[in-house]
Amino acid sequence: MTSRTCLSVILAAGEGTRMKSALPKVLHPIARLPIVAHVAKAVHSAGGSDIALVVGRGADAVRDAVKSVVSNVTVHEQKERLGTAHAVLAARDAIARGYDDILVVFGDTPLIETAALDQARARLADGADVVVMGFRPANPAGYGRLVEKNGKLIAIREDKDASESEKKIGFCNGGLMALRGAGALQLLDKVTNANAKGEYYLTDVVEIGNAMGKSVVAIEIAVDSVIGINTRVELAEAEAIWQTRRRRAMMLAGVSIQAPETVFFAHDTLVEADVSLEPNIVFGQGVSIASGAVIHSFSYLEGARIGPKAEVGPFARLRPGADLAEKAKVGNFVEVKNAKIGMGAKVGHLTYLGDATVGAGTNIGAGTITCNYDGYNKALTEIGAGTFIGSNTSLVAPLSVGDNAYVASGSVITQNVPADALAFGRAHQVVKEGRAVELRARYAAQKNAKKAE
């Protein structure tokens, strides 16, 4: 099949009014990727490297979402909404270029699996002219039934038009279709709008194809693959299905997840075998975790790279640019942004490291912060290897602390610290004997005066 050319027509011009959103329906995210981009990735994986994207509202944004995951995309505007066949014919120029296979999919079906598309293309390779992708829902009521005879698909009967015997059919139309490229336009051009709504229905190609003596068949695919998103309720349901699939795939690949239902992945999360994920972890985009690492509970990671046997959390936040080397540790209530933490370095708790480098084996005490922003510009803090930064230290960037240096607790460091040096940055302590008694009396009087008002 790899030698067969394929065009995937993605229908993404629907208004999506039931989403009740200013954002076009197909741009709502699942696993932090727009719905339509999930569809584009699936068809691309099935060999549909050329994509004809049929758009309506928000055309530029929809195009950009698809081009973020695949490159070979042509955009075709459906100016009027006159049915699914009319939408496909908006891509007439692309179809006319001549492909072996044409896949027709919807931009709001993000759970379509590559295996289903591969199956449809395989039937085209075996000689079919039209392949309809069907499914078997628990309750077929309301769905169009796929009426078969002698292994051929002879009709798609809408529920309201179905006879009593046809309503007993459990095999239903999923809407997705594959067409042999040669003759596809001939079929589509024969679709008319002679129906109550005056629309051009793609499903009519089934009876048209049979009348022309073409081979029309149906294949069964998973129910999840044809789920369309029309409301925010369905969006959340699809997210849950996607997450369940990804969690299962992760665990089968050797990742330990203690409470799978509480861990949420992004579409591009990369986790190697022998990583351990505790409950209640959320991944933003751009996270990779190397083997042997442990992510403790209630951590949020985005744009971060976690090295082998590193440890994160609990209650840690890793922001874009966080880069932990092997056996590095970022503990509870630590935030790291655009910072490299060296091999075996420890950032135990209650710390913010932004725009920084931390050398191997260094220990960062609780309450330490890098003061990296002056209100206009960011500056870098460089902390060497084997260094000890005492608790409650403020490192005012730009700043360099050398290897094996020692910074005393409670310091505000504004000048570079050489290697092997000891740095103090504290204000001079003053003690005034008995002054606490005077202060208490003054403050109590102020409080009582307020109460008397």
The pLDDT value recorded for residue 205 is 94
The pLDDT value recorded for residue 439 is 86
Cα 302 to Cα 286: distance, rounded to the nearest angstrom? 6
Binding residue numbers for acetyl-CoA: 366, 372-373, 391, 409, 426
pLDDT at 366 over 70: yes
Binding residue numbers for Mg(2+): 108, 230
Binding residue numbers for UDP-N-acetyl-alpha-D-glucosamine: 11-14, 25, 78, 83-84, 144, 158, 173, 230, 319, 337, 352, 363
Percent above pLDDT 90 for the chain: 86
> Mean pLDDT, to the nearest integer, of 146-173?
91
Cβ pair 299, 283 in contact under 8 A: no
The pLDDT value recorded for residue 337 is 98
The pLDDT value recorded for residue 195 is 82
The pLDDT value recorded for residue 452 is 84
pLDDT at 399 over 90: yes
pLDDT category of residue 3 using cuts at 50, 70 and 90: confident
Residues of the chain with CATH 2.160.10.10: 250-423
> Mean pLDDT, to the nearest integer, of 358-366?
98
The pLDDT value recorded for residue 397 is 96
The pLDDT value recorded for residue 431 is 83
List the catalytic residues.
Answer: 349
pLDDT at 158 over 70: yes
Predicted TM-score (pTM) of this structure: 0.90
The pLDDT value recorded for residue 2 is 61
Q: Is the dihedral of CA 122, 127, 132, 137 positive or negative?
A: negative
The pLDDT value recorded for residue 16 is 80
- Could you write out the DSSP letters of every residue in 364-417? E-TT-EEE-B-SS-B--EEE-TT-EE-SS-EEESSEEE-TT-EE-TT-EE-S-B
Cα 319 to Cα 322: distance, rounded to the nearest angstrom? 6
The string of pLDDT tens digits covering residues 277-326 is: 999 999 999 999 999 999 999 999 999 999 999 999 999 999 999 999 99
Percent above pLDDT 70 for the chain: 100
Residue 410 phi, psi dihedral angles, 5° rounding: 75, 15
Residues of the chain with CATH 3.90.550.10: 6-226
Cβ pair 9, 54 in contact under 8 A: yes
Q: Is the dihedral of CA 183, 184, 185, 186 positive or negative?
A: positive
Q: What is the mean pLDDT of the chain?
A: 94
> Mean pLDDT, to the nearest integer, of 77-104?
93
Take residue 280 and report the two structure tokens written for it.
């209640």
The pLDDT value recorded for residue 79 is 84
Query: Which residue did the predictor score with more confidence, 69 or 197?
Result: 69
CATH H-level superfamily of 250-423: Hexapeptide repeat proteins (2.160.10.10)
- What are the Cα distances from residue 443, in Å, to 95, 123, 146, 447, 453? 83, 86, 84, 6, 16
The pLDDT value recorded for residue 430 is 82
Domain 6-226 in CATH 3.40.50.980? The answer is no
Cα 383 to Cα 33: distance, rounded to the nearest angstrom? 36
The string of pLDDT tens digits covering residues 374-396 is: 889 999 999 999 999 999 999 99
pLDDT at 48 over 90: no
- Among 115-129, 211-225, 425-439, the least confident range: 425-439
pLDDT at 78 over 70: yes
Closest CA to 128 of 56, 184, 47: 184
Cβ pair 16, 225 in contact under 8 A: no
